[in-house]
Structure 1
Amino acid sequence: MHKPAKFAAALVALSAVAGLTSVDANALPRCRAAVEGVATATGILGTGSEKARIAARQHWKATVRHLYGPRYANFWTARDKQWDCKKGAILLAKCVVVARPCRY
């Protein structure tokens, strides 16, 4: 076996042992800067908060789609999610979500 062939064989064996393959590299997420989604909603017995959470998530997705494209607009693959939901005046609830959009 020639030296380049031995080197290539050793590199393949080493990457197999270490678990380093091109498939694994593609499985790592590519994340962008954090994006904020904000919404308010009204309702009683917690329905306002739930509506505001859903609307904030939709606002986040729309903002991400506009900034980074549709591949990043999946909220479930986002990282570092932070929620802040508060009841405001009598029936008004406001939710803010901040998360880093990621794609795989």
Structure 2
Amino acid sequence: MTFKIGVAILVGLGVVASTTAADARWNRRGECRPVLEGAATGKGVFGLGSARAREAAISNWEEAAENRYGRAFSNFDRAAGVRWDCAKNALITAKCVVVARPCAARISG
């Protein structure tokens, strides 16, 4: 009886180990890549230029992440260590630069 329980435990551990290896290949959540930068300018008054520049910088960052690391890493909402630098260059023009680490989605591909 003890032998059967031991065999069942070993078989169960083998299934868990093989499942974990297979899951690791597809479950990339929490996997982050090195820092990327996105930059853009926007025009507008009363903060509208900054808002437009921020949105365009996010799009620029997502495009850079997809080009370098693939679609699984291209969602800014999952980025880690996000840092912003936005400044007015002229009266109605704002420039924003975002720096962040792209992190993967749960399932890639």
- TM-score normalized with structure 2 length: 0.74
Q: Which consecutive residues of structure 1, in runs of 5 or more, have no partner in the other structure? A: 16-20
| Alignment-mate amino acid for residue 87 of structure 2 | K
Letter of the aligned partner of 1:101 in structure 2? P
Q: SS at the partner of 2:38?
A: strand
Q: Distance in 2 between matches of 1:99 and 1:83?
A: 9
In the alignment, the residues of structure 1 paired with residue 28 and residue 100 of structure 2 have an alpha-carbon distance, to the nearest angstrom, of 20
- The answer to whether the aligner puts 1:38 opposite 2:39 as a matched pair is yes
Residue type of the alignment partner of 1:98: V
Off by >6 Å, runs of 4+ in structure 1: none
1:5 is displaced (CA, Å) by 2.5
The superposition leaves residues 44-74 of structure 1 with CA deviations (integer Å, 9 ceiling, x where unpaired) of 0100000000000000001011001111100
Whichever residue aligns with residue 75 of structure 1, its letter is F
Q: Quick one: percent identity of the two aligned structures?
A: 43
Output the TM-score relative to the length of structure 1: 0.77
Distance 1:76 1:86, change over 3 A: same
State the match for 2:95 in structure 1. Answer: 94
Structure ranking higher in strand proportion: 1
Structure 2, unpaired ranges of 5+: none
Match of 1:74 in 2: 75
Report the CA distance between 1:42 and its aligned residue.
1.1
RMSD, matched Cα: 2.7
* Whole-Å separation in 2 of the counterparts to 1:55 and 1:46: 14
